[in-house]
Amino acid sequence: MDNNINDFSGDFPVLDQQVNDERLVYLDNAATAQRPRQVIKALTDFYEQDNANVHRGVHTLAERATKDYEDARQKVQAFINAPAAHDVIFTKGCTDSLNLIAATYGEQNIKPGDEIVISIMEHHSNLIPWQQLAKKKQAVLKYIELTADGELDLADAKHKITDKTKIVAVTHASNVMGTVTPLKELAAIAHQHGAVIVGDGAQAVPHMPVNVQDLDVDFYAFSGHKMMSPMGIGVLYGKADLLRAMPPYQYGGEMINDVHRDQSTWADIPFKFEAGTQNIAGAVGLGAAVDYLSHVGMKNIQRKEQSLVNYVLPRLIAIPDVQVYGPQLPQKHTGVISFNIKGLHPHDVATALDMDGVAVRAGHHCAQPLMEELGVTATARASFYFYNTKEDADQLIKAINETKEFFNIGTI
Ligand code: PMP
């Protein structure tokens, strides 16, 4: 496998530790990634040198903090190739971004009998806002189903998206099965029917080059913490004309133009959607994470993760009594791999792997309708990032074999 961009160990202090007397192998990156020193330093520098509230001060620190914050917006704009910086709205995270769209665009545009189309592999964050909106507006929520090998069924999408569809909201990459969806094709289909398309990029932006103009998505949401920035910062990209036509999400300071006793007017985008004091340090940290990822190169990151998947997936599938969910071909997979060991609850698997220093997640991964579809209540999930290594993959495989032995799986 390609180990060219392998040695990031010095950059991630948290990875340099033992857990249960074993080398820590962190394979829970789909839940949250680790932070490199460069991001931690950007946060410390901000708090030690520039900390102030943004936009409303004329003193030097306020001007520096404002510049840091707006620089971070420009870095994100370039990173996802948004047409302008004002198309990038800082939010608390992907969940917040998706709720914002449902509460503003959705509230304004969905009428009884309209259709909202999502997929069955959605994270609850890209499911419940639409489910609740549909209920409130007496609209119809439709699900795009999976193909037999766990991919989004494009033929079904063409069937489900109709002239009644007003919103299509689909993940760009599954947080359970590691499937990448044909978001660009879905955008074209949605637009043919006059609908807008929302992309959930939580599991895509950290792992592959994303170009929102090329995808032609109307909205695109993601979280900073899955791409190595602080918790509590995220992004909503939106096409400017749509954002301008939408009502505000929250009311208060920063988002206004004029306020009078009986009426108020709103600031232009992006500030209209950034009410109150924002997570300025978080945005600065996100900017530093974008710098780091751009320096490594998103194509290199994608290539490295692909080579890890090429290495580990066939070895995982080859273990008797291990079932991998979703596509079985490595080239159809991101670094997110869900599996179960026959006869064992995934929580027991995750606990046993932790004894060998391997951190994986177990549960429904906030995707219960998908779990129902897969016929399970939970899975174990190993999720790789570019700083993981072939040795990490070997330790996972070894720990799974040891877990099987410990529980006598396959021997009785
Ligand atoms: N969508 C997907 C596909 C995710 O994986 C996640 C996080 N697990 C989210 C949305 C929600 O992200 P957050 O919790 O950071 O808001």
| DSSP category for residue 87 | G
How far, in Å, from the CA of 123 to the mean position of ligand 1?
A: 7
In the prediction, which pLDDT does 301 show? 98
Please indicate whether residue 171, judged by its CB atom, sits closer than 6 Å to ligand 1: yes
| Catalytically annotated residue among 208, 366, 380, 382 | 366
Whole-number mean pLDDT of the chain? 96
C-alpha of residue 95 to centroid of ligand 1, in Å: 6
| Mean pLDDT score, 246-274 | 97
pTM for the model stands at 0.97
pLDDT of residue 3: 43
| Rounded Cα–Cα distance for residues 25 and 226 (Å) | 17
**For residues 97 and 205, what is the distance between their CA atoms, to the nearest angstrom?**
14
Q: Tokens 């990151």 belong to which residue?
A: 301
Cβ 123 under 6 angstroms from ligand 1: yes
What distance in angstroms lies between residue 290's CA and the mean position of ligand 1's atoms?
18
pLDDT, position 6? 62
Interior angle at CA 187, CA 126 and CA 143, nearest 5: 45
Min mean pLDDT across 5-14, 168-177, 260-269, 364-373 is at 5-14
Give the span between the Cα atoms of 305 and 91, in whole angstroms.
28
Minimal-distance CA residue to ligand 1 atom 4: 202
- Residue 111 in tokens: 């009428």
Lay out the sheet containing 140-144: strands in order across.
Answer: 88-91, 234-238, 219-223, 196-200, 165-171, 115-119, 140-144
Label residue 5 by pLDDT band (50, 70, 90).
low
pLDDT value of residue 409: 83
**Is a pLDDT exceeding 90 seen at residue 22?**
yes
pLDDT at 7: 79
Mean pLDDT of the 21-46 span: 98
User: Rounded to 10 degrees, what is the CA torsion of 388, 394, 400, 404?
Assistant: -170
Whether ligand 1 lies within 6 angstroms of the CB of 203 is answered as yes
- If one compares 8 and 4, the residue with the highest pLDDT of the two is 8
Give the single-character DSSP code of 36. P
Q: What is the C-alpha separation between 228 and 225, in angstroms, rounded?
A: 5
For residues 382 and 129, give the distance between their C-alpha atoms in angstroms, rounded to a whole number: 27
Q: State pLDDT tens for residues 223-233.
A: 999 999 999 99
- Which of 1-5, 69-73, 166-170, 347-351 has the weakest average pLDDT? 1-5
User: Is the model's pLDDT at 1 over the cut of 50?
Assistant: no
What average pLDDT score do residues 328-332 get? 96
User: Ligand 1: which atom is nearest the Cα of residue 96?
Assistant: 16
229 touches 289 (CB < 8 A): yes
Tokens matching residue 377: 């209540």
Nearest CA to ligand 1 atom 8: 31
pLDDT at 4: 47
Catalytic residue flag (residue 94)? no
Dist. CA 134–CA 141, nearest whole Å: 6
ipTM above 0.95, yes or no: yes
d(CA 55, CA 155): 48
Residues 207/302, Cβ–Cβ less than 8 Å: yes
Q: How do residues 119-174 score in pLDDT, each as one tens digit?
A: 999 999 999 999 999 999 999 999 999 999 999 999 999 999 999 999 999 999 99
Please name which of 213, 180, 208, 186 lies closest in space to residue 198, comparing C-alpha atoms: 186
Q: Are 173 and 203 in contact (CB under 8 A)?
A: yes
Closest by CA to 79, choosing from 387, 305, 300, 298, is: 298
CA distances from 106 to 80, 130, 215, 279, 315 (A): 24, 8, 21, 25, 45
